[in-house]
Amino acid sequence: MPPQSTIVAPATPPGQGAIAVIRLSGPHSVEICEKVFLPASGGAKLSGRKPNSVNFGRLADGKEILDEVLVTVFRAPHSYTGEDVVEISCHGSPYIRREAIRLLIDNGAAMAKPGEFTQRAFLNGKMDLPQAEAVGDLIASSSRAFHKVAVNQMRGGFSKEIKKLREKLLHFVSLVELELDFSEEDVEFADRSELKSLLQSISEMTGSLTKSFSFGNAIRNGIPVVIAGKPNVGKSTLLNSLVSEEKALVSEIPGTTRDSIEDVIHIEGIAFRFIDTAGIRETTQKIEIMGIRRTMEKIRQASVILLMVEATDTPDHINQIIEGLREKPELSGKRIILLLNKSDLPRKENSVKPSGDNFPSLDEKDHVVEISAKKGDGLENLKELLVDIVNEGRPKEDDIVVTNARHYEALKNAHEAVKRAGDGLDGGLPGDLLAIDIREVLHYLGEITGEITTDEILGNIFKNFCIGK
Amino acid sequence: MPPQSTIVAPATPPGQGAIAVIRLSGPHSVEICEKVFLPASGGAKLSGRKPNSVNFGRLADGKEILDEVLVTVFRAPHSYTGEDVVEISCHGSPYIRREAIRLLIDNGAAMAKPGEFTQRAFLNGKMDLPQAEAVGDLIASSSRAFHKVAVNQMRGGFSKEIKKLREKLLHFVSLVELELDFSEEDVEFADRSELKSLLQSISEMTGSLTKSFSFGNAIRNGIPVVIAGKPNVGKSTLLNSLVSEEKALVSEIPGTTRDSIEDVIHIEGIAFRFIDTAGIRETTQKIEIMGIRRTMEKIRQASVILLMVEATDTPDHINQIIEGLREKPELSGKRIILLLNKSDLPRKENSVKPSGDNFPSLDEKDHVVEISAKKGDGLENLKELLVDIVNEGRPKEDDIVVTNARHYEALKNAHEAVKRAGDGLDGGLPGDLLAIDIREVLHYLGEITGEITTDEILGNIFKNFCIGK
């Protein structure tokens, strides 16, 4: 049953701006707004206006005029929430915004909870749960790659496919359960080979979606890249060179502030989190040890290590550094890009030669890039390489990617349940036990799409939304 | 001539929110938007839609979908700017907002300068200059009193009246100038007694508006109230008691942060700036002296002094404090409210008695209020008194108030010019000289309404607007 209250909240970010939008949703939206809206001279009442049209007038508390506003009425079910929705566009003053909301509450609206508009859209069948979740992701997205996944998810994404397969499976399980009623007659309503091929399809889908999560998660949170190297080798210069190129781009995005540990840099629409390891050195100071521990934890999650040395260094010295790095358990086994910095300086007789015999012992999957962090030489090569490494992990259909830990969890569970059901089918498991396994698959798939949910799941999802969404 | 470019800017504050609005204005608004908008299935092209109606669809860069959006088209002259305007309501993600604006710029829009939308509205005759300025005030307003003045100004305010009187005066001056062409015939086209009464009306208006500025300015910036008193007498407790009552109210308003010197507290919709004078004591330290100087500067502008003493003090001691206060040149002549704090403590035999003979020597316009800052007793009396003091200075028509220094300047100049013209008229000044005086009045009145302006004036006014307004 849909909620019967009418909710109100600001829909635009707080602060001063040209305009602010306030949104009402619920059965009394129009009625409440009518009480405080004076149409411009000659204008009809809101309730008599055409839906989806903009009406100019004044917002007033009795005789006291609060603002001149534009009001748009959306009629159920043709609105974001599926209920009657009114959007009031007023001047972007925090005072007006606050007073307007107070006025609407005084006239019968209730303050919306975080995510309540989207939650209502879900409850009214305007979107499934991954679509609702994608709305939150979309608003939070700050890189092209994550944004693309979120847009695709909002438009249906993988949940369409899951729903389709789930419906087919639901059909099968009811046939299997029907057989139980006729158990003495030993009939088979459900075609076992068809069921097997359906389970196979589901298994393939859940498998590949589950696998896509490590890529999706990196896309969502940024690819962690550790920069290692001796002090003064040019690590900060590299970061500055990379950052300055995209400064104009990034400066507008909140939350990408550069702190001492991480710099987020966008390369070809992918966010990379560069983690400086300046802090990793032997120390006995308590506070510093704690700081290093945190850094190490981040390094453990890193995908790539940029190891920076000087191009004028000798191979022996570089080998020594690499071995020192491999000794640290957190760094061992990671993919290494060896950066030969200061490539613009003249080499010495015994300097390392990238293509020579005396080259350091790298693994096959490792790379060498010559750069001059100061002059910006070679940075394009480095960027290309980083993007290539990300793309290696990119699923074929790169817009159908799981980025959400909740989906990942359910997909993993579904995948395992499908395997059990398939094994049972192969092993000639009796119908009643087979039905239980299949029901489990249905449960996990339903959790993803929201066909099966609990108040707790919904609460967890929507509490992280902003108010007004 | 109106500008021919099509401008674009975000209209809502930066940051994350449910939605963000992007606004285009100019002759190519619809055409530019058309290039990046895919109507929902079955939808017609934007250019074919009815104005003022909301259209659902997708914003896309070629095949890459950026967001699902609502687009509203306003057709010239029925829009905010008087030009074709398109409002795009997208998801409130900084990334999407930035990309959408980039997309629109790539397709021919130009980034709007601060205030350019409102400037165009002015240039296209949608509003006069004080109305345009009121838009900026309205967005910045954070108190009910200032908001009321701004709303009234936005709806026409005093500029309507000024325009009317100016037109009449323009009629007269042309008659006077016409007389000059017939100077040999000694005719009088302009009825001198009517002119005199018109000048009288203008003088009354400019005079009362000029006077309203001290009230208007206080309303705009908050009424400065100095709190003086010995350390530990309870000044901070008073502030905390006043602040805590309205904390819920104020916390939402940006810019009312409490710093060490000022607390802004709203009483009955009026902002009061409480200035703590903790810093005023004899000192030789350079930095402290500079700080005190700044405080003293603020005190010089203050309207009211709250002098806090303890209710258990003796009259002699209080007199001594008052005299010490009056000695400071910055404080002398200010209106004093003597606060007898700690009214809840038992009095001593020789304590001051507010209504007794042994009462300190206050001026007639001063007041005494007994309070307990800690318990909150007497605060209502204090608030009432402060509001009463503000209301003493309130003009009769309290919503027609000058809050803008530019208007004040022009009104003062106009007022003086009217006086000169009136004196000239009384003294039988020849028509050519009279016309010069009247032209001057016309000039200053025209400066207010914007009928006479320069690029410099416009530049100064709109540069302080936010982008998108």
Contacts of A23 in chain B (CB under 8 A): 18
Token pair, residue B1, equals: 């001539």
- pLDDT tens-digit map of A408-428: 999 999 999 999 999 999 998
Task: Assess B93–A contact: CB distance below 8 Å, yes or no.
Answer: yes
Distance from CA of B156 to the nearest CA of A (A): 13
**CB–CB contact B18 A72 (8 Å):** no
> Which of A271-280, A352-361, B182-191 has the weakest average pLDDT?
A352-361
Cα separation, A82 vs A344, whole angstroms:
63
Are the C-beta atoms of B219 and B149 separated by less than 8 Å? yes
The reply to whether omega before A77 is within 30° of 0 (cis) is yes
In this model, does residue B292 exceed pLDDT 70? Answer: no
Which 140-179 residues of chain B touch chain A by CB within 8 A? 140-144, 147-148, 151, 154-155
How far is residue A280's CA from residue A289's CA, in Å, rounded to a whole number?
A: 9
Contact check, Cβ <8 Å, B14/A252: yes
| ipTM beyond cut 0.85 | no
What single DSSP character describes residue B468?
T
- A271 burial class (0-12, 13-18, 19+ CB within 10 angstroms)? buried
**pLDDT tier for residue B284 given thresholds of 50, 70 and 90:** low
Of A43-57, A61-75, A87-101, the one with minimum mean pLDDT is A43-57
**Residue B92: per-residue pLDDT:** 93
């003009």: which residue's tokens? B395
As a whole number, mean pLDDT of residues B250-279 equals 63
Q: Please provide the DSSP assignment of A129-164 as one string.
A: HHHHHHHHHHHH--SHHHHHHHHHHHTTHHHHHHHH
Pick the more confident residue, A301 or B458. B458
Task: Flag if B20 and A14 touch (Cβ within 8 Å).
Answer: no
Q: In chain A, whose CA is at the least distance from the CA of B91?
A: A139
Beta bridge partners of residue B335, listed in sequence order: B304
CB-based contact A235:A278 (threshold 8 Å): yes
Structure tokens at B390: 């503000």
Of A264-278, B104-118, B260-274, which one has max mean pLDDT?
Answer: B104-118
Q: What is the least distance, in Å, from the CA of B336 to any CA of chain A?
A: 31
DSSP of A200-259, one letter per residue? HHHHHHHHHHHHHHHHHHHHHH-EEEEEE--TTSSHHHHHHHHHHHHHHHHTTSTT----
Mutation target for A interface from B53, B55, B96, B139: give the one with most A CBs within 10 A.
B139
B348 in reach of chain A (CB within 8 A): no
Identity of residue A163: K
Decide if B325 contacts B331 (C-beta within 8 A).
yes
CA angle B398, B403, B406 (to 5 degrees): 140
B243 pLDDT above the threshold of 80: no
The partner residue sitting opposite A93, judged by closest CB among B17, B96, B140, is B140
Q: Provide the residue type at B188 as one letter.
A: E
Identify the band that residue B285 occupies on the pLDDT scale cut at 50, 70 and 90.
low
- β-bridge pairing B64-74 and B54-61: antiparallel
Residue pair A22/A33 in contact (Cβ under 8 Å)? The answer is no
pLDDT of residue A288: 56
Q: Is the confidence at residue B247, as pLDDT, over 60? A: no
Strand order of the sheet with strand A7-10? A37-39, A54-61, A64-74, A85-92, A17-25, A7-10, A110-111
Q: Which domains does chain A have, with CATH numbers?
A: 7-112 (3.30.1360.120), 132-216+404-462 (1.20.120.430), 222-392 (3.40.50.300)
Distances (CA, A) of A165 to A158, A159, A161, A202, A411: 11, 10, 6, 7, 13
Per-residue model confidence (pLDDT) at position B263: 79
> Which of A116, A151, A270 best tests the B interface by mutation, with the highest count of B CBs <10 A?
A151
- Put simply, whether B77 touches A (Cβ < 8 Å) is no
Rounded average pLDDT over A310-329: 81
Inform me whether the C-beta atom of residue A91 falls under 8 Å from chain B C-beta atoms: yes
Residue B296 near residue B289, CB atoms below 8 Å: no
Share of chain B above pLDDT 70, in %: 88
Decide if B36 contacts B59 (C-beta within 8 A). Answer: yes
Which chain A residue lies closest to B250 (C-alpha atoms)?
A95
Give the integer Cα–Cα distance in Å for B176 and B259: 58
B366 falls in which pLDDT band (50, 70, 90)? Answer: confident
Residue B256 confidence (pLDDT): 34
How big is chain B by its Cα radius of gyration, in Å?
Answer: 29
Q: Could you give the CA distance from residue B397 to residue B399 in angstroms, rounded to a whole number?
A: 6
- Higher-confidence residue: B277 or B102? B102
Contact B384, B197 (CB under 8 A): no
Q: What is the pLDDT of residues A365-378, one digit of tens each?
A: 778 899 998 888 99
On chain A, the residues whose CB falls within 8 A of the CB of B22 are none
Distances (CA, A) of A432 to A18, A195, A196, A232, A440: 64, 15, 16, 69, 13
* pLDDT of res. B209: 92
Q: Which stretch of DSSP H or E encloses residue B417?
A: helix B405-426
Report d(CA A123, CA A242) in Å as an integer. Answer: 45
pLDDT tens string A91-114: 999 899 999 999 999 999 999 999
Q: What is the pLDDT of residue A297?
A: 75
Report whether pLDDT(A83) > 50.
Answer: yes
Q: Which amino acid is at A307?
A: L
pLDDT at A261: 58
pLDDT value at B399 more than 70: no
B409, containing H or E segment: helix B405-426
Element holding B438 (H helix, E strand) = helix B431-449
Give the separation between CA B131 and CA B156, rounded to whole angstroms: 6
State how far the Cα of B100 lies from the Cα of A247, in Å rounded to an integer: 19
Beta strands in B239-354 (DSSP E): 262-267, 270-276, 304-310, 335-341
The whole-model pTM stands at 0.82
Q: Are the Cβ atoms of B17 and A10 closer than 8 angstroms?
A: yes
Chain A residue with Cα closest to B65: A151
Which residue intervals of A285-430 are DSSP H helices? 286-300, 315-327, 379-392, 405-426
In whole angstroms, give the CA distance from residue B57 to residue A12: 20
- Short-list A309, A299, A360, CA closest to A333: A299
The pairing of beta strand B110-111 with beta strand B7-10:
parallel
A54 to chain B, any CB pair closer than 8 A? The answer is yes
pLDDT for res B398: 58
Contact status of B64 with chain A (Cβ, < 8 Å): yes
| Chain B from 392 to 421: CB within 8 A of any A CB | none
A135 with B93: Cβ contact below 8 A: no
Name, in order, each residue with C-beta under 8 angstroms of A354's C-beta and a sequence gap of 6 or more: A340, A368, A370
Residues B39-87 have pLDDT tens digits of: 987 677 888 888 999 999 999 999 899 999 999 999 999 999 999 999 9
3-class secondary-structure state, position B148? helix
Q: For A415, phi and psi rounded to 5 degrees?
A: -60, -45
Beta-bridged to residue A270, according to DSSP, are: A267
The per-residue pLDDT for A284 is: 54
Helix (H, G, I), strand (E, B) or coil at A197: helix
pLDDT for the residue numbered B249: 37
CA B51 to chain A, closest CA, distance in angstroms equals 9
Residue type, A273: R
Average pLDDT over every residue of B264-272 = 88
In the predicted model, is pLDDT for residue A169 greater than 90? yes
Per-residue confidence (pLDDT) for residue A371, from 0 to 100: 92
Closest CA to A340 of A387, A308, A299, A316: A308
Instruction: Pull the structure tokens for residue A13.
Output: 């970010």
pLDDT at B257: 34
What is the tens place of the pLDDT at every residue in A386-398?
A: 999 888 878 876 5
Using a CB-CB cut-off of 8 Å, the residues of chain B touching A8 are none
User: Mean per-residue pLDDT for A149-174?
Assistant: 90
| Burial (Cβ within 10 Å: 0-12, 13-18, ≥19) of residue B282 | exposed
Residue-wise pLDDT for A230-260, tens only, equals: 777 888 788 888 876 554 333 333 333 334 4
Residue B350: pLDDT band with limits 50, 70, 90: confident
Query: What pLDDT is recorded for position A111?
Result: 95
Q: Do residues B120 and B101 lie in contact, with contact meaning Cβ atoms separated by under 8 Å?
A: no
